[in-house]
């Protein structure tokens, strides 16, 4: 059986390669030499692909061609190439490849994994009105309250930093999507995002596992060569089922009791009820849209805040500078709110540098081309997997001086900085750009500004009385976050402590 399948794989690959030999077209983009049949499958690791693609970019340029068996893969290492193709030519580059591993996991009616077409547009139309800049202005009260709850929690137990920033991110998106609140320490919604996060982060590099190239392999047991991730997806399906179904059940129950709080989901269910069969989306599509909004908004926001804490730990000098700005503009008698945003340029620079320094979706989500295309004299075959390497874009030396360095002042006008542009790729490109970016930026801003206003983030002290030097490492997966590290998070002074405690909010856990 194994030999039969291998023979089939080899034959279809040879057929595809021979067919291409007889067609004349512009040369493919450059890339490292691959193996005759399997192409670059053996050379590309399943972890930290972005770093290897970045290194190859230095040798072969900003547009690289790879081949996984007969599948063409184009890696875009510069924001310009990504913008030229995914944005300016978005009609050709907004498709998605099938993601059999993620489908196996239960992500079915989910925009991020739906190909370009009418169904994609229906999902986009469902989400978009709830996430415009104007609509997001209406969520700032929720975000401010949740940020203040975060401060209170950090005072109570600084060691649980990760739990609390996850709760902050989850609470905001839970309210917007389902009108629900995180209410207790061991809230099921937090557990659900944790388990779904684990499933997504360990589901393998999207689009480049053997199952992605030969979807029929998903029916094979996990011990079969190349089928590990399929087994993992099956084992973790429960997490995605819970993510999609549990909040939905809670909301429908509350609506039936007449207690539904307005949210994305209630508005969709009401529209479905009102319009019946004329409404373009059925229950499963609505559930899927809410599920991706909930997950898309929690894991990424949490991971970015974790990067922020790491950066502040390593760079007390920028903390001090942001605190001086906050003290100057706001004083010490109140906490920041959204009306202060434009008056705090350095805090904004810290937010942007956090997004650039370690983008939490380092390879974006792969797009797929619909037609043959030629870009700068290079042939991009129809059906290519297009990988925007955001990591390489944010490290582009032609745009960022000393790109590995965390330096928020780079964005300031001269003479304080170099007036370098804010990073372009962390939220993706073209018609697939992250619909939640305005909401995410607001959540990040209020959390960062509030934390900087009242806390000093420093190295923690170990039992030996010495400073604990953080071990810096990042997880690998579709989302990437810092590996656990310790910090000391202390109110800057007694006035700051009182400010946190005095703030009146009914939102405590
Ligand atoms: C720091 C926070 C976030 C980051 C870094 C981020 C990043 C991304 C990226 C890179 C993509 C892929 C874009 C592409 O294909 O070109 C994406 C897609 C998506 N994001 Fe976000 N995101 C964040 C927050 C959010 C939030 C808050 C929501 C929901 C409210 C959200 C919902 C989505 C959805 C639904 C998609 C799929 C879009 C599609 O396939 O057309 N994201 N995000």
Ligand 1 centroid vs 365 CA: distance in angstroms? 9
In the reported structure, the alpha carbon of residue 114 is separated from the centroid of ligand 1 by a whole-number distance in angstroms of 14
Cβ atoms < 10 Å from Cβ of 404: 9
Segment 388-415, tens digit of pLDDT: 999 999 999 999 999 999 999 999 999 9
Reported confidence tier of residue 38, pLDDT bands at 50, 70, 90: confident
**Angle of CA points 160, 338, 480, to nearest 5°:** 40
Which atom of ligand 1 sits closest to the CA of residue 425?
Answer: 10
Place of tokens 């670059």: 40
> Residue 132 is encoded by which pair of tokens?
């415009």
Q: What is the pLDDT of residue 187?
A: 82
265, 436, 481: residue to mutate for ligand 1 pocket, most atoms within 8 A of CB: 436
Q: Give the residues surrounding ligand 1 with Cβ less than 6 Å away.
A: 111-112, 127, 131, 173, 292-293, 296-297, 300-301, 304, 360-361, 364-365, 426-429, 432-436, 439-440
pLDDT in tens, 181-208: 887 767 888 888 888 888 887 877 777 7
Question: Quick check: 477 and 101 in contact, CB under 8 A?
Answer: no
Query: Ligand 1 centroid to 468 CA: how many Å?
Result: 35
| Predicted ipTM > 0.95 | yes
CA distance linking residue 146 with residue 152, whole number of Å: 10
Residue 181 and residue 221: Cα distance in Å, rounded? 40
Check residue 219 and give its pLDDT.
84
* Helical spans, DSSP H, in 88-215: 90-93, 100-105, 118-127, 133-137, 140-156, 161-178, 188-201, 210-213
Question: From ligand 1's centre to the CA of 6, what distance in Å?
Answer: 37
**Atom 6 in ligand 1: residue holding the nearest Cα:** 427
Mutate to test the pocket of ligand 1, among 120, 136, 427 (most ligand atoms within 8 A of CB): 427
Please report, rounded to a whole number, the percentage of residues in the chain having pLDDT higher than 90. Answer: 66
pLDDT at 484 over 80: yes
Q: Ligand 1 center to residue 432 CA distance, Å?
A: 8
pLDDT of residue 146: 94
Atom from ligand 1 closest to the CA of residue 176: 30
Cβ contact 380:89 at 8 Å:
no
Phi, psi angle pair for 103, to nearest 5°: -65, -40
pLDDT 10s digits, 233-248: 999 999 999 999 998 9
Beta bridge partners of 254: none
Cα 130 to Cα 201, 267, 443: the distances in Å are 27, 10, 15
Which has more confidence, 256 or 404?
Answer: 404
Q: Is 434 known to sit in a ligand binding site? A: yes
Q: How many Cβ atoms are within 10 Å of 188's Cβ, its own excluded?
A: 13
Least confident of 104-108, 114-118, 183-187, 287-291: 183-187
């Amino acid at each position: 059986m194994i030999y039969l399948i291998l023979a089939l794989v080899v034959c279809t690959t040879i057929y595809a390669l021979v067919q291409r030999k007889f067609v004349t077209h512009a040369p493919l983009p450059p890339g490292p030499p691959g193996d005759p049949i399997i192409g670059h499958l053996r050379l590309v690791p399943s972890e930290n692909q972005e770093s290897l693609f970045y290194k190859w970019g230095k040798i072969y340029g900003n547009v690289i061609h790879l081949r996984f068996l007969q599948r063409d893969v184009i890696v875009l290492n510069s924001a310009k190439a990504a913008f030229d193709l995914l944005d300016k030519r978005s009609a050709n580059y907004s498709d998605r490849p099938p993601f059999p591993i993620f489908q196996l996991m239960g992500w079915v009616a989910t925009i991020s994994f739906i190909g370009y077409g009418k169904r994609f547009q229906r999902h986009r139309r469902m989400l978009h009105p709830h996430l415009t800049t104007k609509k997001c202005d209406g969520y700032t009260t929720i975000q401010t309250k949740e940020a203040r709850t975060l401060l209170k929690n950090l005072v109570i137990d600084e060691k649980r930093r990760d739990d609390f920033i996850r709760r902050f991110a989850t609470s905001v998106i839970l309210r917007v999507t389902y009108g629900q609140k995180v209410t207790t320490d061991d809230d099921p919604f937090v557990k659900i995002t944790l388990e779904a996060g684990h499933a997504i982060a360990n589901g393998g590099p999207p689009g480049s596992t053997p199952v992605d190239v030969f979807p029929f392999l998903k029916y094979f047991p996990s011990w079969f060569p190349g089928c590990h991730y399929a087994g993992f997806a099956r084992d973790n399906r429960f997490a995605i089922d819970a993510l999609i179904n549990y909040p939905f059940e809670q909301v429908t129950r509350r609506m039936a009791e007449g207690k539904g709080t307005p949210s994305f989901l209630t508005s969709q269910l009401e529209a479905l009820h009102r319009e019946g069969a004329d409404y373009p989306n059925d229950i499963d599509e609505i559930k899927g849209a809410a599920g991706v909004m909930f997950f898309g908004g929690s894991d990424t926001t949490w991971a970015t805040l974790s990067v922020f804490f790491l950066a502040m730990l390593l760079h007390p000098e920028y903390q001090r500078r942001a605190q001086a700005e906050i003290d100057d503009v706001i004083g010490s008698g109140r906490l920041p709110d959204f009306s202060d945003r434009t008056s705090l340029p350095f805090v904004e620079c810290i937010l942007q540098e956090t997004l650039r320094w370690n983008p939490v979706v380092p390879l974006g989500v792969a797009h797929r081309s619909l037609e043959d295309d030629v870009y700068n004299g290079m042939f991009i075959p129809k059906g290519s997997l297009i990988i925007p390497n955001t990591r390489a874009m944010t490290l582009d030396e032609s745009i960022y001086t000393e790109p590995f360095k965390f330096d928020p002042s780079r964005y300031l006008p001269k003479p304080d900085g170099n007036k370098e542009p804010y990073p372009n790729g962390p939220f993706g490109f073209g018609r697939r750009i992250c619909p939640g970016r305005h909401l995410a930026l607001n959540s990040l801003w209020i959390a960062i500004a509030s934390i900087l206003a009242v806390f000093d983030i420093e190295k923690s002290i170990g039992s030996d009385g010495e400073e604990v030097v953080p071990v810096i490492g990042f997880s690998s997966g579709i989302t990437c976050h810092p590996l656990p590290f310790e910090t000391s998070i202390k109110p800057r002074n007694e006035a700051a402590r009182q400010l946190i405690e005095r703030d009146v909010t009914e939102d405590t856990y």
